[in-house]
Structures are given as C-alpha cells and as structure tokens.
C-alpha cells in the first residue's frame, strides 16, 4: 500500500488523531488516552496538515452520508490532495491502546475501495493491465489498481464534487461512477488494455454501467447513443431509455471510435 495510506498504524506519536462516531469510551477520555500515547487529539480533520492524520471510526446509526460522516469525507478530500491519512475502526484502535498491537486500517474510505482513492502510477497500471482475461474491479487487487488509474483519467469530479456520466449526462457523487471499459477488457489486446486514455469512459452505476455492459445500450459510429428496442417494453427502464436515446456521447472521438465500434458490432442487442 502506498505510504499515503498505510496498511497499519503502529503508533500515534506526534500525529493528529480525530474521532468520529461512538467509540468504547467517552470522547474526553479518548483524548486523554491519545495525549498519554504522545498523539495530538483534534476535533476536526485538517485539510492542510501534511503529517499523517488518523481518523478513528466508531459506530453511528446516523451518518450524514448514510455510511460515513463529514470527517470521513474530509479524509477522502485529503487523499485526493495527496495528503497522508488513515482510518482505523475503534476496535482496532482500542487494541493499539490496550495491547500495543498495530491497528489495521480500513480498506474502504467514503464508500470507495482505498485503491481507488489513492493515486496510482502508470507503471503499476501497466503491470495490472498486462494481466489477460477479465479482472474484477472491486475484488482483485490488480483490478482495483487498474480501476484507480482509469478513474484518475476519466472520473473527474466537477461542480460540488459531482461526476458526469458519459451516457445519461446526469451528475452523481464519485462513488456512483466507474471508469468502464468501452470495449470489454477481456476482449482487449495488451496494447488496447494499456491505452488508458481512450479505452475507458465514465459511467454511472444508476443504470448506464450495467446496461452498457449487457449491450442494451451502445454508441454508434456517429457517437450517438443507441438503445435496445426492448428496453422500451420494460416499464422500469423506459424513463432512462428515453433519456439516453439519440443523445450524443462526449467520450466518442477518433481515438475511441474503434472501441465503440467493437461494442456496437459485437455486444449491442438491437
């Protein structure tokens, strides 16, 4: 794991420590414990500090963003700016405090796998892309590294941190958008898999990614979205179908057209 997000925390000596949610003891007592360990208890996550910042995550029945709160989203902002950070569960932190056992860091930050959050290098991407056949973007390590690099290029938060889907043109929080292969990864040559700038495009998980993957939606030679005629016959898909039909896809270009052409010819269900 890149040092921007260490896999384990061995000590909090000299480090800022912030608590969120409910931990095993009252907040004041936790802060005293951190001081006794040489750490610096703080009430908020700093968006500027260049030292490693640790967020200890307890329980909460009501996070602001359903599964995480504002402090965790600040950690995500830090990671996006390249500032070293770590999230540990309060159970892990308690073990560090009472048994001096290294605390393992959480592998999901603000709803996304940590490998997607931490910028990766083209070298690591090229090694991951060299693996033939399908790669699971959530579960295999190489898949997460590959997805991380493709996301850096294609999933770019704009206004209010939202990302625009290249098919439906709606804007979503980044955790609802993936960098999807235009031509299925498993059918790409090594050179195509490594063509990071052109082989992928941003798709929302709110319909477009699974529909494109199944070929119920495609993009034609003119860069116009085509939809499978039977989508109109399914009531639940009708609204999205109408939204998508005849829209022009901003990711279609002279460099990407061969990937779209493959999808349209081999995957599109008329």
| Nearer to Zn ion among residue 117 and residue 168 (C-beta) | 168
For the CB of residue 181, give the shortest distance to Zn ion in the complex, in Å. 16
Least separation, in Å, of the C-beta of 228 and Zn ion?
Answer: 16
Q: How many residues bind Zn ion (CB under 5 A)?
A: 5
126 CB burial (10 A radius; 0-12, 13-18, 19+): middle
- Interface positions, 28-87, toward Zn ion (CB under 5 A): none
DSSP code, position 166:
T
CB of residue 117 to Zn ion, shortest distance in Å: 22
* Least distance in angstroms from the C-beta of 205 to Zn ion: 8
In the region spanning residues 162 to 201, those forming contacts with Zn ion, defined by CB under 5 A, are 165, 167-168
Segment lying near Zn ion (by CB under 5 A), choices 55-63, 124-132, 181-189, 207-215: 207-215
Contact 126, 194 (CB under 8 A): yes
Q: Report the C-alpha gap between 75 and 85 in whole angstroms.
A: 7
Supply the Cα-derived Rg of the chain in whole angstroms: 22
Q: Is the dihedral of CA 157, 159, 163, 164 positive or negative?
A: negative
Which CB, 165 or 174, lies closer to Zn ion? 165
Q: What is residue 129's three-state secondary structure?
A: helix
Between residues 13 and 159, which has the closer beta carbon with respect to Zn ion? 159
Buried b (16+ CB within 10 A) or exposed e, 102-112: bbbbbeebbbb
CA pair distance 167, 108, nearest whole angstrom: 27
**Closest approach of Cβ 211 to Zn ion, in Å?**
9
Q: Does 15 bind Zn ion (CB under 5 A)?
A: no
Cβ-based nearer residue to Zn ion, 178 or 204: 204
Asked whether position 204 contacts Zn ion by CB under 5 A, the answer is yes
Q: How far is the CB of 167 from Zn ion (least distance, A)?
A: 5
Q: Which stretch binds Zn ion (CB under 5 A): 26-34, 93-101, 208-216, 255-263?
A: 208-216
Q: Are strands 177-181 and 217-219 parallel, antiparallel or unpaired?
A: unpaired
**CB-wise, 109 or 204, nearer to Zn ion?**
204
Q: Which two tokens stand for residue 164?
A: 């625009």
CA 154/CA 164 separation, integer angstroms = 10
- Our CB check for Zn ion shows the closer of 109 and 167 to be 167
Cα 157 to chain centroid, rounded: 11
Nearest approach in angstroms of CB 37 to Zn ion is 47
> How far is Cα 122 from Cα 100, in angstroms, rounded to an integer?
37
Site for Zn ion in 128-167 (CB under 5 A): 165, 167
**Which of residues 121 and 248 has its CB atom nearest to Zn ion in the complex?**
248
Q: In this chain, which of 118, 208, 219, 241 binds Zn ion, going by CB under 5 A?
A: 208
Task: Sort 159 into a burial class: Cβ within 10 Å, 0-12 / 13-18 / 19+.
Answer: exposed
Binding positions for Zn ion, rule: CB under 5 A:
165, 167-168, 204, 208
């Amino acid at each position: 794991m890149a040092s921007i997000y260490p896999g384990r925390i061995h000590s909090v000596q000299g480090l800022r420590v912030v608590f969120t949610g409910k931990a095993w003891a009252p907040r004041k007592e936790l802060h005293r414990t951190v001081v006794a360990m040489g750490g610096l208890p703080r009430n908020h996550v700093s968006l500027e500090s260049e030292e490693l910042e640790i967020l200890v995550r307890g329980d909460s029945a009501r996070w602001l963003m359903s599964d995480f709160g504002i402090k965790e989203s600040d950690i995500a902002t830090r990671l996006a700016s390249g500032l070293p950070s770590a999230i540990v569960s309060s159970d892990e932190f308690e073990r560090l405090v009472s048994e001096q056992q290294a605390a393992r860091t959480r592998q999901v930050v603000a709803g996304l796998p940590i490998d997607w959050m931490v910028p990766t290098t083209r070298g690591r991407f090229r090694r991951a892309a060299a693996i033939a056949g399908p790669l699971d973007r959530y579960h295999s390590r190489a898949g997460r590294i590959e997805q991380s690099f493709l996301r850096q290029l294609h999933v770019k938060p704009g206004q209010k941190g939202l990302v625009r889907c290249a098919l439906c043109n709606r804007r979503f929080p980044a955790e609802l958008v993936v960098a999807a292969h235009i031509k299925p990864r498993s059918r790409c040559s090594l050179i195509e898999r490594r063509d990071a700038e052109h082989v992928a495009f941003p798709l929302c998980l709110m319909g477009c990614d699974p529909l494109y993957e199944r070929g119920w939606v495609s993009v034609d030679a003119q860069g116009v979205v085509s939809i499978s005629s039977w989508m109109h016959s399914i009531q639940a898909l009708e609204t999205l179908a109408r939204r998508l039909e005849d829209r022009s896809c901003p990711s279609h270009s002279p460099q990407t057209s061969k990937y779209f052409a493959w999808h349209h010819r081999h995957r599109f269900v008329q």
